[in-house]
C-alpha cells in the first residue's frame, strides 16, 4: 500500500482531466465554477481546519484529498454527483494503492458533502462541508453576460470577500462575507444558501465547534 498525498492526487492527469471536464459540463448548464480553482481552495481549507483543530498531519492530508476530489462526480451528472464522485474516487485511489481505511475516509467525505443527502459523518466530511459551502466569491461566476445572471451568479458576483476563520481556543468557526447589496440582496443570499449554512452549523458541531456567520461586519443568527 502507498502513502498517497494531495500532491499525488493534484498531479494525477486522470483526476485533473475529470475535474476540468466536469467544470466544462457545468459551465454549459449555467453553473458557477467547480473546477481546479474550487477544488484547490476546498482542499486547502479542509487541511487548514484539521490542523487548526488539532487533527494529525495525515488526517489533514486525507481531508485535503477529499476536498480536492469532492466534485469529481459532476463529470457524470450534476444529480447525485456526491455519490458518483465517491465511486470514482474509490476506483482511482484504489488503483493508486491507497490503503482501504484511508480510501473509506475520503469516499465517505465526498459522498456526504451535499446538503440534500449529506451528513458530517467524520472529521473529513465535516471539514470538506465547511470548506465547500464557504466558497462564495465573484471569481466563481463563469457567465460573461451580466444581463443573463441567475440568482447564483448574482449572489456570487456580489460577494467581494469570503474568509473562513478558525479560532481553536474558542472552538469557533466563522464565515465572514463582504457582500455588495447593490448587486444581490441578503435575502437572495439566504434563498440559496440557508440549507448550506445549516449544514455548516452541523459540520462545526461535529467538530465540537460553533459556527458563526458574519455578513458586512454584522453577525447573522
Neighbouring C-beta atoms of residue 169, cutoff 10 Å: 5
CATH number at residue 213: 1.10.3210
Is the model's pLDDT at 2 over the cut of 80? Answer: no
Q: Which three cell numbers stand for residue 170?
A: 474558542
Q: Which domain holds residue 127?
A: 6-220
Q: Which residue has the higher pLDDT, 145 or 198?
A: 198
How confident is the model over 86-122, as pLDDT tens digits? 999 999 999 999 999 999 999 999 999 999 899 999 9
| Residues in CB range of 211: below 8 A, 6 or more apart | 130, 173, 174, 175, 197, 200, 201, 203, 204, 205
The answer to whether the Cα torsion of 46, 10, 115, 125 is positive or negative is negative
Q: Angle 57-69/123-133 helices, nearest 10 degrees?
A: 50
Count of C-beta atoms within a 10 Å radius of residue 149: 18
Question: Which alpha helices (H) appear in 5-146, and where do they start and end?
Answer: 6-10, 13-28, 36-52, 57-69, 81-95, 100-111, 123-133
Q: Could you tell me if residue 109 is inside a domain?
A: yes
The pLDDT of residue 149 = 87
Q: Are 67 and 46 in contact (CB under 8 A)?
A: yes
| Structural contact between residues 10 and 68, judged by C-beta atoms closer than 8 angstroms | yes
Give the mean model confidence (pLDDT) for residues 73-89. 97
> Looking at the domain assignment, is residue 1 inside a domain?
no
Is residue 33 domain-resident? yes
Q: Tell me how many domains the chain contains.
A: 1
Residue in this structure with the C-alpha cell 466530511, named with its chain if needed: 125
- How far is Cα 132 from Cα 114, in angstroms, rounded to an integer? 9
Q: Per residue in 168-186, pLDDT tens?
A: 999 999 999 999 999 999 9
Beta strands in 109-195 (DSSP E): 159-167, 172-179
Please tell me the pTM assigned to this model.
0.96
**The three grid cell numbers given for residue 190, joined into one nine-digit string:** 439566504
Taking residues 11-37, report their average pLDDT. Answer: 96
Cell representation of residue 72: 469529481
Amino acid at each position: 500500500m502507498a502513502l498517497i498525498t494531495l500532491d499525488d492526487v493534484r498531479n494525477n492527469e486522470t483526476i485533473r482531466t475529470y475535474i476540468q471536464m466536469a467544470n466544462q459540463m457545468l459551465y454549459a448548464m449555467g453553473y458557477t465554477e467547480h473546477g481546479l480553482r474550487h477544488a484547490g481552495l476546498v482542499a486547502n481549507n479542509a487541511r487548514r481546519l484539521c490542523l487548526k483543530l488539532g487533527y494529525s498531519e495525515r488526517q489533514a492530508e486525507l481531508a485535503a484529498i477529499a476536498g480536492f476530489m469532492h466534485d469529481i462526480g459532476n463529470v457524470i451528472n450534476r444529480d447525485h454527483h456526491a455519490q458518483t464522485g465517491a465511486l470514482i474516487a474509490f476506483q482511482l485511489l484504489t488503483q493508486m494503492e491507497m490503503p482501504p481505511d484511508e480510501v473509506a475516509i475520503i469516499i465517505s467525505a465526498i459522498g456526504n458533502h451535499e446538503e440534500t443527502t449529506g451528513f458530517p459523518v467524520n472529521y473529513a466530511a465535516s471539514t470538506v462541508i465547511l470548506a465547500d459551502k464557504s466558497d462564495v466569491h465573484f471569481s466563481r461566476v463563469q457567465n460573461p453576460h451580466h444581463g443573463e445572471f441567475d440568482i447564483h451568479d448574482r449572489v456570487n458576483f456580489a460577494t467581494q470577500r469570503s474568509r473562513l476563520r478558525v479560532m481553536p481556543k474558542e472552538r469557533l468557526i466563522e464565515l465572514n462575507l463582504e457582500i455588495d447589496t447593490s448587486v444581490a440582496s441578503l435575502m437572495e443570499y439566504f434563498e440559496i444558501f440557508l440549507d448550506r449554512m445549516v449544514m455548516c452549523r452541523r459540520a462545526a458541531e461535529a467538530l465540537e465547534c460553533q459556527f458563526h456567520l458574519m455578513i458586512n461586519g454584522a453577525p447573522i443568527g
